Structures are given as structure tokens and as C-alpha cells.
Chains A and B, each alone.
Chain A
Amino acid sequence: ETGVTQSPTHLIKTRGQQVTLRCSSQSGHNTVSWYQQALGQGPQFIFQYYREEENGRGNFPPRFSGLQFPNYSSELNVNALELDDSALYLCASSSGGVGATEAFFGQGTRLTVV
């Protein structure tokens, strides 16, 4: 049990719609990272939030946005959904800051865009 929970577990949306995915980080963790895992691929870094501020972003367009709340939970928002956005979205929490710490992953949200 990692303590990182994501909701919903599965979601089907229509192209052009907007979606919000949620992540509750593990107790004591102040950093949340989001990854997109397309079918048959490794996870790709979307962005990271540290103490409510964006702390780095991968190669994703601005229609991918996020938030981190004072309790360190986080949301990933995707606007104008495209078919290629269909993927497993993973949230990882950690204690953050400089240096490598273990990132704990949630079970993921499977998003299907039709």
C-alpha cells in the first residue's frame, strides 16, 4: 500500500472535451509529479508540483495544466482532448526537494478519448 490514491480509475471522454484527474499524495509528502504512459510505452514526465508551485515541466502543450493544494493533493487538467491523449496517467508523490528520493506511484487513471 503506497498511500497515493488517484481518481477516477477509468474515464471515457469525447474529443474536444476537458478532463480533471485527481491525486492524493502520501502523508508527509510535499511533491507530486504527473506522468503519461501511452500503451506499450514508458511513463513520460508531464510536470511536477512542489509546495503548490510548478517545479518543472516536460514536453507537453499548455492545454495540460495542474494544481497543487495546501494539503499537497493535486489535479491534472487537460483541455481540448485529442485521441492521442488516451493513456494511463500516473501520479507520484515524494518528499521533494533537491536530491533523489523514492517516488511512490498511484494506481493510475486510464483515460480513453473517443
Chain B
Amino acid sequence: AQSVTQLDSQVPVFEEAPVELRCNYSSSVSVYLFWYVQYPNQGLQLLLKYLSGSTLVKGINGFEAEFNKSQTSFHLRKPSVHISDTAEYFCAVNPQGGSEKLVFGKGTKLTVNP
């Protein structure tokens, strides 16, 4: 069975600072990896996904993530955050070759302060 650990429940940063949100997963099979963002009182929006190929994945809103198979990690980064990036971020996995029954982490609340 797959599981996802998001190592930080809350990450406060100042505007224009870089940020990294950490995600580790465990799985006995190869997986696809996703990052979703959830703004207050909203559903989930896909930021980026790793299916195969290059381990550095670029997404929307200037976010990127790096897949590290040996460390079973998929950390999300942004070089310079904005106030509008304040939201909850979820890492998710699903097994390759399976239909998309996502397993989510508990989320990281990113707060960007002026």
C-alpha cells in the first residue's frame, strides 16, 4: 500500500523568499506523483505531476518539484513566493498502471507574510 508523509504541517515564509515543501512517499510499486493546492473554501487544483522522464517537473504559478527515487521524495519548491501563494498544499501518489485513486498526505499550510 502507498502512503505519503508531508513533513511540515505549517510553513511560514516572508514574501519573495524561497520555499520548499517536503513530501516523502512509500510504495512497493512504481508510482505517479502529484502536488495539489487548495485555497480556502475551494477544491483542489493540480500544480504539477510526475509520470516519467525528467525528474525535475515544472508546474503552474512558478512551482517545480524534483522526484528522487532513491530517497522516495518529491519536494515542491518555488524560488520567490507571493502573498497569493498562501494556501494548503497536498502531495499525492497513485500506482503506475492503476486508475487514479489518489493517496494524499495530510497537507502543508503555507503562509506568506508581507
Contacts and interface: CB of A to CB of B under 8 A. Distances in A.
Interface string B29-73: 000100010000111111001010000000000000000000000
A44 B104 contact: yes
B55 to A, nearest CB: 16
Contacts of B45: 2, 105
B51 A106 contact: no
Contacts of A100: 32, 49, 51, 94, 96, 100
Interface residues of B, number: 26
Nearest to B51: A100
B43 A107 contact: yes
Interface string A1-28: 0101000000000000000000000000
Contacts of B90: 42-43
The secondary-structure label for the interface of chain B is loop
Nearest to A97: B99
Contacts, number: 74
A77 interface: no
B43 A108 contact: yes
A48 B97 contact: no
A100 to B, nearest CB: 4
Contacts of B96: 99-100
B103 interface: yes
Q: Which 3 A-B pairs have the closest CB atoms?
A: A42-B104, A105-B43, A100-B32
A103 B32 CA distance: 13
A108 B36 CA distance: 15
